[in-house]
Amino acid sequence: MHKKDFKKYYFIKKFNKSNIDKQDKNTVIIYRNYKKKYDHSEILNLKNFCKKRGLKFFLSNNIKLSIKFNLDGAYIPSFNNEYSHLSYLMKKDFMLIGSAHNLKEIKVKEKQKVKKIFISSIFKENKNFLGLNKFKIISNLSRIQIVALGGISKKNKKLIKLTKSVGFAGISYFESKKKGP
C-alpha cells in the first residue's frame, strides 16, 4: 500500500466547519444525509469550503445533483441498485464510488461502474460484520479498488495494512480527531 495513495473518507450529515477544518488533504468529504432533502445552498457552501481547503467533495445518492454542481464525484450506497446514471454525461475526472456488504452487492457496484468499493463492516460488529479475514476474502473477489469501512479506530487502523484497501472510511474516527500531524 502506497502511503500517498491511501485516502480517508469522512461521512458527514451536516456542514460543520470545525470538524472539516481538522482534516488533511488525503481526506475526502462525503455528504450523506438520508433523513432530509438536500439543501442546495448548503451543498454549494460545503463545495466551496472543501475547494478552499483542497479537499475532494462527494455527494451521496444523488448523481444528477453532483454533476449539476460540478462536484468531484458521487457516492452510491449499497441499497442503490439503479443503473440510470450510466446514461449521464460526466466530466472525465468525475468519480463514482459505492458501498457493498456482500458479493452480490459488489457485482452490482461493478456494473454501476464505480471506481472504488467501500466494503463494510471490517471491525464494527453489526449485521454486516465481516471481520478482518472475511473482509480480505471478499475484497479479493473484485478487481476494483477497495476501501475499508466500519469501526475503524486509531487502535485498529494499522490492521488495514494487512488488506488490499486503498483507504478507509468512517464517521467517529474523524470526529474524535484532534488538529495536528
Please say if the pLDDT value at position 178 is more than 70: no
Average pLDDT over residues 20-42: 93
Residue 127 lies in a domain: yes
Q: How confident is the model at residue 1 (pLDDT cuts 50, 70, 90)?
A: very low
Q: Give the count of domains, the chain.
A: 1
Please say if the pLDDT value at position 83 is more than 70: yes
**pLDDT reported for residue 35:** 86
**pLDDT reported for residue 88:** 95
Residue 151 lies in a domain: yes
Residue 101 lies in a domain: yes
Domain, as residue range, for 162: 3-175
Using DSSP's 3-state secondary structure scheme, residue 7 falls into strand
Average pLDDT over residues 72-91: 96
Beta partners for 8?
27, 168
Please say if the pLDDT value at position 108 is more than 90: yes
Measure the CA–CA gap between 165 and 140, rounded to whole angstroms.
Answer: 10
- SS3 percent helix, strand, coil of the chain, rounded to 5, is 35, 20, 45
> CA angle, corner 107, sides to 104 and 113, nearest 5?
145
**pLDDT reported for residue 4:** 57
**pLDDT reported for residue 113:** 97
Measure the CA–CA gap between 58 and 73, rounded to whole angstroms.
Answer: 5
Average pLDDT over residues 24-48: 94
Pairing status of strand 56-60 against strand 7-12: unpaired
Residue 180 lies in a domain: no
Residue 11 lies in a domain: yes
Q: What is the CATH number of the domain that holds 66?
A: 3.20.20.70
Q: What percentage of the chain reaches a pLDDT higher than 90?
A: 82
Residue 27 lies in a domain: yes
Give 2 or 44, the one with higher predicted confidence. 44
Residue 79 lies in a domain: yes
Residue 181 lies in a domain: no
Give 94 or 126, the one with higher predicted confidence. 94
Give 176 or 135, the one with higher predicted confidence. 135
Average pLDDT over residues 5-29: 92
